[in-house]
Structure 1
């Protein structure tokens, strides 16, 4: 199934532009939260933890959805609208690193999508170009909200940070959602990848085997790769006490060998624990 075929079933009603035009005024003083950008079935804003003016700051994107509506993870699955984050309008901002909470698989008439229902908070770590100086955050956020139909949304979000200018009202909320993101340090979750192999029998795809320290209860797997290829949602094909294997089909390549030299991102999930791993696809696979 091609990327175009996956997007064709989505009935797009409108392009909702939230906070369109010039960036919303953030006010003369720094704040712990920006204004809500409201639209049909959703609203979004930026929130911040306390910042002492150091080289790094912690903020988050807060998205709220009406009952029955969903939004998408980085990889939307079989059909959906992936989020896009553009920070280029910001000042004194050197780097950003968004930590997406572990999503869920959401069945729909076109297969399975991957995302969130209700509310979601995406923690973001900022790097300042010059420590000790204010950071003016301007985020052009594109995301999709879906029920029976899908609406692509463009929200312009703003927030100004000043050293010592934020109270701590959102720190617990940001910390709670940060705890729902996959671990990135090797071994932190007890989950690991033991093998990545090509499928045999003329099929273009991969077989990924994961292991879990202390055993696996509800193993799952998500995959992301080069945009030129489409990776199916991984299918659980075998499970033992401490290991599970998943089949991933690939569209856009005649053979999995076309992926050699590329890397894929694997998100390993088992109940409340998760691990994100970047896996290089080498010749020995």
Structure 2
């Protein structure tokens, strides 16, 4: 495995350099952690991951509770949100070795925008916990979570990292270790909010200038503190990061513009859904919008 530059767009990687990325292949793991509430750390140069047993919930509809994936990053390192932006790679989750697992839904705390010579990206730094909504096949039995994670981490350059973690998660046994971290991360997940809501933060309105080439969206927001706006479309749309509208306060813009570029040649705009995430860095809101 070789190191790779993170300066790419539309999944086109830049030229590889040194072969030090060979060190990123990780050692095997011990048996699943049973009572500690956390798996052993799985380390790579610059980062490490582990699973956390979070809050236990009543076993209704097979839902066995909320676990967490903790990614610990060394000083100066970063990793990426589900939509990394102009550069970087999102994490890829493999739960195929798990037992008694019906499904896992990854919840994403609000990311931070980072602008550098490679463009704008959505990142996490320091220590981040991704809450995991876990559904058991048989809610009366423990779930053995086994994760193989491929993720990108960056310092001056970006390298691929890989980690494995395994944890027995028993919905009948409330956890203490890790529960507070998972609960705090869940509070940082953007809250679904209708466009036009009077609350703050919120997306107040979205306007489409279809006469512009390319068409341009103007997104008016209401937020009391500096925020970043992220927009996601269909999987084959590579939208740029929204920028503050001309004349907007750069320190805390209340209006953003988004040119609809990076679309497939046969893209159909009318009716296409977009997802807006307005992030304060410690939380935020998420709104769905359908192009007129």
Same fold flag (TM > 0.5)? yes
Q: Which residue of 2 aligns with 1:265?
A: 275
Q: Which residue of 2 aligns with 1:3?
A: 10
Deviation of 1:31 after TM superposition, in Å, equals 3.8
Where do 1:179-218 residues align within 5 Å?
179-184=187-192, 186=194, 190-203=201-214, 205-212=215-222, 216-218=224-226
- Classify the secondary structure of the residue corresponding to 1:143: strand
Deviation of 1:25 after TM superposition, in Å, equals 1.6
Q: Which residue of 2 aligns with 1:33?
A: 38
The 1:174–1:278 alpha-carbon spacing in structure 2 relative to 1, beyond 3 Å, is same
For 2:152, which of 144, 149, 159 is the aligned residue? 144
**Which deviations, in whole Å up to 9, do the C-alpha atoms of 1:173-216 show, x marking residues without a partner?**
1122211110025457551352242453322x44142333xx65
Where do 1:61-140 residues align within 5 Å?
61-140=69-148
The 1:169–1:25 alpha-carbon spacing in structure 2 relative to 1, beyond 3 Å, is closer
Q: Which residue of 2 aligns with 1:244?
A: 255
The 1:250–1:119 alpha-carbon spacing in structure 2 relative to 1, beyond 3 Å, is same
Deviation of 1:89 after TM superposition, in Å, equals 1.9
TM-score computed with the length of structure 2 as normaliser: 0.82
TM-score computed with the length of structure 1 as normaliser: 0.84
The 1:103–1:252 alpha-carbon spacing in structure 2 relative to 1, beyond 3 Å, is same
Q: Distance in 2 between matches of 1:227 and 1:11?
A: 29
Q: Which residue of 2 aligns with 1:43?
A: 48
Q: How many residues align?
A: 274
- Classify the secondary structure of the residue corresponding to 1:209: strand
Q: Distance in 2 between matches of 1:119 and 1:261?
A: 38
Task: Compare the two structures and name the one with the higher strand fraction.
Answer: 1
- Structure 1 regions of 5+ residues with no counterpart? none
Q: Which residue of 1 aligns with 2:290?
A: 280
For 2:161, which of 149, 153, 156 is the aligned residue? 153
Q: Distance in 1 between matches of 2:16 and 2:235?
A: 20
- Structure 2 regions of 5+ residues with no counterpart? 1-7
Contact 1:50 1:164 in 2 (8 A): no
Deviation of 1:167 after TM superposition, in Å, equals 3.2
Q: Distance in 2 between matches of 1:242 and 1:117?
A: 23
Contact 2:109 2:283 in 1 (8 A): no
**Which deviations, in whole Å up to 9, do the C-alpha atoms of 1:142-171 show, x marking residues without a partner?**
111101111111211111112444531222
Contact 1:10 1:149 in 2 (8 A): no
Q: Could you tell which deviates more after superposition, 92-101 or 33-42?
A: 92-101
**Which deviations, in whole Å up to 9, do the C-alpha atoms of 1:14-42 show, x marking residues without a partner?**
2623345xx64215x44411111011111
RMSD of aligned C-alpha atoms?
Answer: 2.8
**Which deviations, in whole Å up to 9, do the C-alpha atoms of 1:211-243 show, x marking residues without a partner?**
33xx65434310112221210011111549995
- Classify the secondary structure of the residue corresponding to 2:191: coil
